[in-house]
């Protein structure tokens, strides 16, 4: 299972995560989006996190991590999950990631930089000695496409 996390109040990342889940489910991939809404079931959240071997932390609108996201990340690390974060370079100094998370940064001001960042993650995964699930690589590519589309619509609004 692949878990996707985002900081509380990061609505752009939440939107991307939900779209990712919808597309991945159509392809029979197992994706768990960690909910941040009122009334979430913590028991269910941690059960799914325990089953996750890979996780992606999406950060777009926030420059810090909330306590619940930090707790979830530490839990994943304790369970030896491989965690990748994708965050804007503008938040690099203020986001304090726990050790063991593979941080990747993109410049929001450069069109296509997010796509390049995701491609770098895929390349890193392919260069590792550990086998990488094809589902995870496909998920990353889908995520890049979604962000690319979201960015195109955002640029059209300005």
> Average pLDDT for consecutive 10-residue bins of the chain (158 residues)?
90 84 67 85 92 88 90 95 89 88 88 78 67 62 62 49
pLDDT > 70: percent of the chain: 75
User: Which CATH architecture does the domain made up of 2-157 adopt?
Assistant: 3-Layer(aba) Sandwich (3.40)
Which tokens hold the place of 35? 């909910």
Cα 148 to the center of its chain, rounded Å: 15
Beta strands of the chain (E only): which ranges?
2-5, 31-33, 54-58, 82-88, 101-106
Whether the model pTM is above 0.85:
no
Distances (CA, A) of 24 to 31, 110, 143, 156: 7, 27, 10, 27
DSSP letter (8 states) at residue 98? P
């Amino acid at each position: 299972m692949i878990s996707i996390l985002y900081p509380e109040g990061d609505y752009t990342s939440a939107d991307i995560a939900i779209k990712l889940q919808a597309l991945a489910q159509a392809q029979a991939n197992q994706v768990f989006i960690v909910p941040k809404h009122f009334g979430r079931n913590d028991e269910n959240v941690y059960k799914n996190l325990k089953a996750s071997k890979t996780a992606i932390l999406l950060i777009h609108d926030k420059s810090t991590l909330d306590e619940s996201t930090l707790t979830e990340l530490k839990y994943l690390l304790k369970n030896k999950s491989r965690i990748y974060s994708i965050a804007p370079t503008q938040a690099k100094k203020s986001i304090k990631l726990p050790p063991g998370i593979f941080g990747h940064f993109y410049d929001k001001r450069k069109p296509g930089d997010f796509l390049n960042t995701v491609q770098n993650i895929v390349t890193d995964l392919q260069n590792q000695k550990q086998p990488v699930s094809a589902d995870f690589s496909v998920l990353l590519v889908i995520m890049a496409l979604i962000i690319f589309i979201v960015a195109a619509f955002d640029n059209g609004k300005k």
